[in-house]
Amino acid sequence: MNLDCNLLILDYLVHHCYGKTAKAFIENIKALDQFAYLPSQTKHCKLNEYSIIYLINASIKDSIEQGEIHRALKVIEDHFPALLEHDELQHISFRLRCQHFIEIIRSGSEMEAILYAQKYLKPVRHEFKEQVREVTSLIAYSDPFQSQSKHLMSQQRRDRLAHEVNCAILDLHCLSDESTIEKVQRQYAVVTDELERIDIKEKKSA
């Protein structure tokens, strides 16, 4: 398999944060020593770029899915500070803060949750106020898992946030949130449908 095909596969793995698979795939490419006959360093650099992004992004995604938001925030601060600093991405950092608050509630530390909310959940934008009201309402329940706000405690919420952060990181690197293989597959489906439509039309007119 040539390097272009390998990059397509790696592109897909990176986009979906298949960490272990991507790592094994990269090691396999290196083992085949394909760099020896590269005409330029461009593809080599591209592969290294993917390696770095996948390693960091997979770590962030795993941390969010496991509820380790403080760990995810630390990695983001170290490697993708723009995600927390850029005005257009403030909703991402604020959602991460809200999720961290939820995870503190999950641990049962009500006082820690109150102190955290006072420090980090002061809405800097009007549209964030509703999010604050929603998540802080968890404090009022003795058992949040049996409350009207129990959806905030779901694994699905973690997974959605992990996906959103993943897409934001890819966007920071000018990478589409859709892998090249998926784009080609979608375009192939469109072309196939159009060809079938034309074929049916021609048969009817024959």
User: What pLDDT score does 150 carry?
Assistant: 93
**Where do the domains of the chain lie, and which CATH numbers do they carry?**
3-37+46-189 (1.25.40.210)
CB 122 within 8 A of CB 113: no
Residue 90: enclosing H or E segment and its boundaries? helix 90-107
What amino acid is encoded at 58 in this protein? A
User: Does the pLDDT at position 145 exceed 50?
Assistant: yes
Say whether 32 sits in a helix, a strand or coil.
coil
CB 185 within 8 A of CB 21: no
| Mean pLDDT to the nearest integer, 129-154 | 92
| Mean pLDDT to the nearest integer, 85-106 | 91
CA 42 to chain centre: 26
* 40 — pLDDT class (breaks 50, 70, 90): very low
User: What pLDDT score does 64 carry?
Assistant: 96
Q: Considering only CA atoms, which of 127, 105, 53, 112 is closest in space to residue 83? A: 53
User: What pLDDT score does 38 carry?
Assistant: 42
